[in-house]
């Protein structure tokens, strides 16, 4: 691979925004890619993948380059040099690469392989928490969570079928394949900007990881039911629920953030989902009005997001242990409060995109201990290491009295 100066400069500028100004990697990548319309697909892929690599491996590259968490322009070049060296790219004779100790950098990489927190490029506190929660399995999970994620689409069955979508994508020169065990999923053969296609604008699909596609299906919804999606956000699961319910019945989509629900509304329109009713939780009244009203409740709970690190590598550096402790309290409160939406005989799914038992099965166990009118029907832990997709947890419970 040959390095092109303008592309490398775009990467260095982006790293400055992410490392020093704390901006989110996805937002920075999006903005950087708009900088030069002459960049082709390969150039864009280089920029996006290199930035994500440097965010994912920030600690490792920092330790190898000796930049000591100080990201001046000169040090950002050092970080980039480590990236290029470990990729086996021969460095051009630019002044920034003069005197690069290639062998020493590779030696340092080998040296750090015995230190998991550095090797996997995570903060020490996270490594300790991972071991405490998952024991030996942590090693495999964190390794899997450092792999770049593939792009998965969910066919919108309100508008099309998986076979038709597969063909329509091919007509746009986008290759995809079916994913066994995931009835509506298509996996892209290579990363492409699918949002530009007409079939996206027509609502034929959503981009949604395979594991996430299991959640709405777990709720066992039927057309005509009254369903409450209690943490609906921008509606990834609500749109799926609408499709599973064939647009029949009612989905009340709640969230504490009205702007997320606005996005949900836009997406629902595109998807042709007509049975979703967004309601912002701006008072306890909104909640109390819904007690004993629902056949099904989905609690797609706020969580640490540790299961989706492949997609959001900057979360490694933005997450704090205090945040995880607080979010666990919120999870318990949400379960307590939103379980009241269910009618007797109704079913509820509690789900997270975390792999920590303390956010998952332990929350459900604690809830069931104090609510003997609920019982666990089934639960599923999706391991990134075993599935190759995002980490998720889901538990299906039934209200019996
Ligand atoms: C995991 S996200 C939901 C993702 C969404 N269901 C989807 O599939 O796209 C969790 C959501 O819970 C919302 N949330 C946080 N605290 C909440 C609360 N107390 N009540 C309801 N929603 C809450 C957040 O705003 C966020 O949108």
**Do 235 and 267 meet the contact criterion of CB atoms below 8 Å apart?**
yes
Q: Give distance in angstroms: CA of 43 to centre of ligand 1.
A: 35
What is residue 40's predicted lDDT score, i.e. its pLDDT?
A: 87
Query: For the packed helices 25-33 and 41-56, what is the interaxial angle rounded to 10 degrees?
Result: 160
Does ipTM surpass 0.85 in this model? Answer: yes
Task: Report the run of H or E that residue 28 belongs to, with start and end.
Answer: helix 25-33
- At 268-323, the pLDDT tens digits run 999 999 999 999 999 999 999 999 999 999 999 999 999 999 999 999 999 999 99
Atom 11 (ligand 1) nearest CA: 231
Q: 3-state class of 283 per DSSP?
A: coil
What is residue 97's predicted lDDT score, i.e. its pLDDT?
A: 96
Q: Say whether pLDDT at 190 is over 90.
A: no
Q: How high does pLDDT run on average in the chain?
A: 97
Backbone angles phi, psi at 19, to 5 degrees: -70, -45
Task: Report the run of H or E that residue 142 belongs to, with start and end.
Answer: helix 137-144
Both tokens of 367, joined, read: 């809830």
What is residue 53's predicted lDDT score, i.e. its pLDDT?
A: 97
What is residue 41's predicted lDDT score, i.e. its pLDDT?
A: 83
Dihedral of the alpha carbons of 83, 89, 90, 95, in degrees to the nearest 10 = -30
Mutate to test the pocket of ligand 1, among 154, 216, 228, 233 (most ligand atoms within 8 A of CB): 233
What is the largest distance, in Å, between two alpha-carbon atoms of the chain?
74
Dihedral of the alpha carbons of 145, 148, 150, 152, in degrees to the nearest 10 = 50
Active site residues: 353
Q: 3-state class of 71 per DSSP?
A: coil
pLDDT band, very low/low/confident/very high, at 68 (cuts 50, 70, 90):
very high
DSSP state of 297: E
In degrees, rounded to 5, the angle at the alpha carbon of residue 260 between the alpha carbons of residues 256 and 262 is 115
What is residue 271's predicted lDDT score, i.e. its pLDDT?
A: 98
CA-based nearest residue to 357, from 399, 309, 304, 312: 304
CA dist 398 and 401 (Å) reads 9
Ligand 1 atom nearest to 334, measured from its CA: 19
Which residue, chain included where needed, has tokens 């029949």? 248
| 110 in a labelled binding site | no
Q: Give distance in angstroms: CA of 301 to centre of ligand 1.
A: 6
**Do 242 and 273 meet the contact criterion of CB atoms below 8 Å apart?**
yes
Q: Please, which residues have CB within 8 angstroms of residue 355's CB and are 6 or more apart in sequence?
A: 134, 141, 306, 307, 381, 383, 384, 391, 393
Mutate to test the pocket of ligand 1, among 154, 210, 231 (most ligand atoms within 8 A of CB): 231
Ligand 1 atom nearest to 212, measured from its CA: 8
Phi-psi region of 232 (alpha: psi -120 to 50; beta: other; left: phi over 0): alpha
In this structure, the residues whose C-beta lies within 6 A of any atom of ligand 1 are 230-237, 254-257, 260, 281, 300, 302, 330, 334
**Alpha helix positions (H), 228-381:** 236-244, 258-271, 284-288, 315-318, 321-338, 361-370
Atom 27 (ligand 1) nearest CA: 233
Q: Count CB-CB contacts under 10 A for residue 369.
A: 8
Q: Give distance in angstroms: CA of 223 to centre of ligand 1.
A: 24
Q: Please, which residues have CB within 8 angstroms of residue 214's CB and are 6 or more apart in sequence?
A: 182, 380, 382, 392, 394
Separation of first and last alpha carbons in the chain? 65
| 282 in a labelled binding site | yes
- At 145-183, the pLDDT tens digits run 999 999 999 999 999 999 999 999 999 999 999 999 999
Which domains are present in the chain? 5-119 (1.10.940), 152-207 (3.30.70.1170), 214-399 (3.40.50.150)
Task: Report the run of H or E that residue 227 belongs to, with start and end.
Answer: strand 226-229
Q: Say whether pLDDT at 193 is over 90.
A: no
Averaged over 322-347, what is the pLDDT? 98
Atom 1 (ligand 1) nearest CA: 302
Mutate to test the pocket of ligand 1, among 255, 267, 288, 299 (most ligand atoms within 8 A of CB): 255
Q: What is the CA 286 to chain-centroid distance, rounded?
A: 29
Ligand 1 atom nearest to 260, measured from its CA: 27
pTM: 0.96
């Amino acid at each position: 691979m040959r390095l092109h100066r303008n592309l490398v400069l775009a990467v260095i500028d982006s790293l400055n925004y992410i490392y020093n100004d704390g901006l989110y990697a996805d937002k920075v990548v999006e903005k950087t890619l708009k900088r030069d319309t002459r960049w082709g697909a390969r150039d864009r892929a280089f920029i996006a993948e290199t930035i994500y690599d440097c965010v994912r491996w920030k600690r490792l590259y920092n330790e190898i380059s000796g930049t000591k968490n100080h990201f001046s322009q000169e040090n950002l070049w050092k970080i980039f040099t480590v990236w290029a060296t470990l990729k086996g790219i021969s460095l051009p004779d630019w002044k920034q690469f003069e005197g690069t100790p290639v062998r020493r950098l590779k030696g340092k990489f080998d040296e750090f392989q015995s230190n998991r927190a550095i090797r996997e490029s995570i903060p020490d506190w996270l490594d300790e928490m991972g071991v405490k929660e998952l024991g030996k399995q942590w090693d495999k999970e964190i390794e899997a969570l450092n792999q770049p994620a593939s792009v998965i689409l969910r066919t919108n069955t309100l508008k099309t079928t998986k076979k038709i979508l597969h063909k329509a994508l091919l007509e746009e020169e986008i290759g995809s394949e079916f994913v066994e065990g995931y009835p509506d999923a298509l996996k892209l053969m290579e990363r492409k900007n699918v949002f530009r296609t007409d079939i996206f604008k027509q609502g034929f699909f959503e981009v949604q990881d395979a594991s996430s596609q299991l959640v709405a299906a777990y709720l066992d919804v039927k057309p005509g039911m009254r369903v409450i999606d209690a943490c609906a956000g921008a509606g990834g699961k609500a749109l799926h629920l609408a499709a599973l319910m064939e647009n029949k019945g009612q989905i009340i989509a709640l969230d504490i953030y009205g702007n997320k629900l606005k996005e949900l509304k836009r997406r629902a329109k595109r998807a042709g989902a007509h049975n979703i009713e967004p309601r912002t939780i701006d008072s306890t009244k909104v909640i109390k009005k819904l007690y004993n009203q629902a056949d099904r409740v989905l609690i797609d709970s706020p969580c640490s997001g540790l299961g989706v690190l492949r997609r959001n590598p900057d979360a490694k550096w933005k997450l704090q242990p205090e945040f995880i402790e607080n979010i666990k309290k919120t999870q318990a409160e949400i379960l307590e409060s939103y379980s009241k939406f269910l009618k007797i005989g109704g079913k509820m799914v509690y789900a997270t995109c975390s792999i920590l038992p303390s956010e998952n099965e332990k929350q459900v166990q604690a809830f069931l201990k104090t609510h003997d009118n609920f019982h666990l029907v089934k639960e599923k832990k999706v391991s990134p290491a075993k599935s190759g997709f995002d980490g998720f947890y889901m538990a299906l419970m039934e209200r019996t009295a």
